[in-house]
A = this chain, B = another copy of it.
Amino acid sequence: MAYENLEDLVEAVRAGRPRAVGRMISLVENESPALREAMRALAPSTGRAQVIGLTGSPGVGKSTTTTALVAALRARGQRVGVLAVDPSSPYSGGALLGDRVRMQAHALDGEVFIRSMATRGHLGGLSVAAPQALRVFDAAGCDTVVVETVGVGQSEVEIVDAADTTVVLLAPGMGDGIQAAKAGILEIGDVFVVNKSDRDGAQALIRELRNMIALGDYSGHRWKPPIVPTVASQGQGIDDLLAALDRHRAAGEQTGEWQRRRLRRARAEVEALALAMVRATFTLGGADGVEALAEAVRDGQLDPYTAADRVVADR
């Protein structure tokens, strides 16, 4: 460990040192017992970062859009964090904070923190790990954090849903993928991006989106999601996207929706942590008991509700 003690590590995270940020997120991923103390120390430094959730089906250009967005935010002088909850995300710029990212950094930018996170394998899953990672980025002084997800699974949707602003990416010519996307993620978009807008079908997609959005209820100053056409690979439309993000923030701060959403996010974070703690007690010392109950359920001797009652009572 490069840091003598936790206090030094916390201090280095606050100072925005990439290695310390990476190390701290590793503690999150490994569910280190030291996290409690670290998060207690970091809490007062949090709450500043704007969290942008960016989601869409594979192939719509999420990584390209994220990269262009990060460049635009850097041009504003911001410190930026990227949390890629997407197994297909390849990143090459910025300070890579983990070994899961496929490409090595060529141009290290100490003001851009990038971390990939696997979607499986953690106790409590993403719903516990992702918010803690965001918290680390936040405490490290990131002005904006982009969370990129594939956006099909439930826990992923929950994560982007809780962002300050959720950007849903679509692209023309995705066939079935778009159909799936429409059913699941349209309702969570604060801003819609039609990427690859120079391709055939982009105008039709924009029209279709516009018609769907028009069905919504926008009374009482409720936010009406704009549609931003982009060609992210050429940086086209990214300024418009930034402007839309700014407008969404300004509108949310005015109506109070911004703070309400942050409350919802904090609540989801606390609940997920509490559930993970309770879940840990299901197996601590009582693993045999749970196993015996599961065996009875498997064999039809016991129903799962009665078994669950006993698990809760016995822990």
Q: A residues near B, CB below 8 A? A: 35-36, 39-40, 42-47, 57-59, 86-88, 119-120, 125-126, 131-132, 135, 150, 152-157, 175-177, 179-180, 183-184, 259, 262-267, 269-271, 273-275, 277-279, 282, 290-291, 293-295, 297-309, 311-312
Contact = CB atoms under 8 A, between A and B. Distances in A.
Contacts of A131: 304
Contacts of A59: 175-177
A9 B65 CA distance: 53
Given A155-B155, A262-B298, A299-B47, A311 B270 contact: yes
Count of this chain's copies in the oligomeric assembly: 2
A21 B120 CA distance: 33
A312 to B, nearest CB: 5
A189 to B, nearest CB: 14
B154 A88 contact: no
Contacts of A308: 270-271, 273-274, 277
Nearest to A313: B274
9 contacts: A47-B300, A58-B180, A87-B184, A119-B153, A153-B156, A155-B155, A266-B294, A270-B293, A274-B312
A282 B290 CA distance: 22
Contacts of A43: 297, 300-303
A58 B265 CA distance: 29
B298 A180 contact: no
Given A88-B179, A119-B153, A294 B267 contact: yes
A125 B154 contact: yes
A296 to B, nearest CB: 8
A114 to B, nearest CB: 17
A297 B269 contact: yes
